Amino acid sequence: MVLFLIGLAILVAGYFTYGKLVEKIFGPDDRPTPAVRMADGVDYVAMPHWKNMLIQLLNIAGIGPVIGVIIGIKFGEIVFLIIPIGNIIGGAVHDMAAGMMSLRSNGENLPKLIEDTCGRAFGKVFSVFMLFCLLLVVAVFINVPSHLIDELVSGITGHDPSENLYFWYAVVAVFVYYIAATMFPVDKIIGNCYPIFGLLLLLGTFAIFVKLMINGIQTPAILQESAAFKAGMMKQPILPMLFITIACGIISGFHATQSPIIARTMRTERQARSSFYGMMVVEGFIAMVWAAAALAAFNRSPELMKLIPAKALGRIVTHFLGTWGGGVTILSVIILAVTSGDTALRSCRLSFAEMTQVDQKPLLKRFLVCLPMIVAVALLLWWSNKSAKSFNMLWHYFAWANQVIAVCTLIAATIYLSALKKPSFITLIPGVFMFFITCSYLLSSENLGAPVGLPVPLLFSQIISAFLACGVGAWAVWHGRKMAELASPQNRQD
């Protein structure tokens, strides 16, 4: 209980202290935003600040801060410190950097931001990689909510959830919604529905938080590691596995693909800290609550630790909130996944259109850009549901590809800040750390039980990764300073 409360205090204090420092370094001001200068009625549409915040929260808060932490808490109570610290100095900085870079670059999407900072060749390679990653995100975020919908409806109708009677119906419904949300102007479906969905999510999470506090006061040991819990804890190393498992609660590259959507709907740059940094902190709170709920449920019913996360989720919320309250909360988790998947597809469309320079104002052109993506996602859905092994493979690629994007975003932001002669340590430190995490994971993943990967011993992979991470960090700072020199008035005259 003590570590949980300390972690929450770190999140709150971090937003008002470190968040303020990050804001000062990026320096949002009163210059006209892309939504004001480039309004097109489709993607560049100025919207109220409170809507932007809720949309950003739902854009970034996928299933990671719920499903991810149900797995992640099995690493132990240390998660209650790692989530908030990583969130404040890593994830929230990452989201703020992506948002501010996009605001200052006419609302450009991540691939163009990477190209502007890291070079044309790397930018083109990254563009293809990011599109591949976003397609994985869409497939995962159709799969998981469809399984949850199937379980929820099966429970209501009295059918056996293992029969998957409603799964493919749910897949079709979710996919059709994704396509509609992607095609229509941002203020029509997303702008009108997301605020309602966001409030539902926050209410469900807050209800569990209140219940946790009541139970924790009555029985403080419920939020501590019991003997039975310790027996079922993860045996894998925290470095790198925890940071791959709890992607969205600590840091997630997927968020950098979403921030430009809000950068195109903000009325003023001064909303950046609350919209980007602040909403990541709120996601950290959501992750902390669900991690605590999972720990309490695992302490009381250790057998839940053996269930897949989606199955454990239902038992956890039913335990705390009863059948009806649990059903509403599961609905909020379904919404959480759905409202990240639709904007992932939208981001995919915008990035591909930016790469191919296809005008996105005409509806027909938006559809033609989306068509190959729809086909690719349909094939991924068919393949990933052939077997449990196929879905595990999909999740594996989704997890590490997500963190590769985070590394690229933070390195690009380091170059960006260095080129402006601003302190770049705020992005350099988490960028180097996440490079170390991702590289060591990929080098030793076969030894860590991942579906595919290299068999390098963990210690050697960490040594190699640390060396490479320091080299990449040093290059980013040097490259940024070189860009600053080339942009100086003297060099421009020469």
**Cα–Cα distance, 470 to 109 (Å, whole number):** 27
Average pLDDT, the chain: 85
pLDDT over 60 at 421, yes or no: yes
Going by pLDDT thresholds of 50, 70 and 90, the confidence category of residue 246 is: confident
Give the angle subtended at the CA of 304 by the CAs of 217 and 73, to the nearest 5°: 60
Q: What is the structure's pLDDT at 297?
A: 87
**Cα–Cα distance, 77 to 292 (Å, whole number):** 9
Domains of the chain and CATH, by start: 2-392 (1.20.1740.10)
- 442-472 residue pLDDT tens: 898 777 666 566 788 989 999 999 999 999 9
Q: What is the structure's pLDDT at 3?
A: 93
Q: Is 341:141 a contact under the CB 8 Å cutoff?
A: yes
Does residue 492 or residue 368 have the better pLDDT? 368
How far is Cα of residue 32 from the mean position of the Cα atoms in its chain?
28
- 311-338 residue pLDDT tens: 677 777 776 767 666 676 777 777 777 7
Q: What is the structure's pLDDT at 102?
A: 96
* HSE toward the beta carbon, residue 169, CA cutoff 13 A: 8
Q: Which of 258, 204, 191, 207 is nearest to 54 (CA)?
A: 191
Q: What is the structure's pLDDT at 494?
A: 35
Dmax (CA) for the chain in angstroms is 78
Q: What is the structure's pLDDT at 493?
A: 39
Going by pLDDT thresholds of 50, 70 and 90, the confidence category of residue 182 is: confident
**Cα–Cα distance, 426 to 439 (Å, whole number):** 21
- 12-58 residue pLDDT tens: 999 999 999 999 999 999 999 999 999 988 889 999 999 899 888 88
Going by pLDDT thresholds of 50, 70 and 90, the confidence category of residue 310 is: low
What letter represents residue 447's amino acid?
N
**Rounded to 5 degrees, what are φ and ψ at 253?**
-65, -25
User: Which residue's structure tokens are 């909403």?
Assistant: 279
User: What DSSP letter does each residue of 128-163 carry, written as one string?
Assistant: HHHHHHHHHHHHHHHHHHHHHHHHHHHHHHT--GGG
Q: Is 127:347 a contact under the CB 8 Å cutoff?
A: no
- 267-282 residue pLDDT tens: 999 999 999 999 999 9
Q: Is 431:473 a contact under the CB 8 Å cutoff?
A: yes
**Cα–Cα distance, 236 to 101 (Å, whole number):** 36
User: What DSSP letter does each residue of 228-263 carry, written as one string?
Assistant: HHHHTS--S-HHHHHHHHTHHHH--THHHHHHHHHH
Six token digits for residue 238: 């925290």
Q: What is the structure's pLDDT at 259?
A: 92
pTM of the predicted protein model = 0.88
Q: Which of 332, 271, 320 is nearest to 99 (CA)?
A: 271
**Cα–Cα distance, 100 to 26 (Å, whole number):** 7
- 79-100 residue pLDDT tens: 999 999 999 999 999 999 999 9
Question: Strands, E, within 189-339: which ranges?
Answer: none
Six token digits for residue 182: 């992607």
Q: Is 329:87 a contact under the CB 8 Å cutoff?
A: no
What letter represents residue 191's amino acid?
G
User: Which residue's structure tokens are 């397609």?
Assistant: 135
* Residue 240, preceding peptide bond in cis (omega within 30° of 0): yes
